[in-house]
Amino acid sequence: MSGIKERIYEIVASIPEGSVMNYGRVAQLAGNSRASRVVGFVLHSNKDPVKYPCHRVVFKDGSLSTGFGMGGIEVQRERLLKEGISFLPDGRVDMKKHAI
């Protein structure tokens, strides 16, 4: 695994159940705050969603990605709901409660 890719996976693996992180924050922690699209690209090719729970990565405003690679936006939403993530009336994750 290349450096930033490996770091992205390490960060995503560290997101605890019941919490989320946005793409930009993952990029920042990986060493490049401008690489949020790289984070999305890396996670889209995630081969081990149990070890690397990419469903816990959302947009800054709490929106879910329509490009979620593990079954689509509804699968991502279901996984988050099962972990106790709450959503706002407009369908976004309540980032005030769940973002780390």
Does the annotation count 54 as an active-site position?
yes
Distances in Å between the Cα of 96 and the Cα atoms of 21, 42, 85 are: 11, 26, 11
Which residues are CB-contacts of 14 (< 8 A; sequence separation ≥ 6)?
Answer: none
Of the candidates 20, 21, 39, 54, the residue annotated as catalytic is 54
Question: Quick one: tokens of 87?
Answer: 């959503």
Active site residues: 54
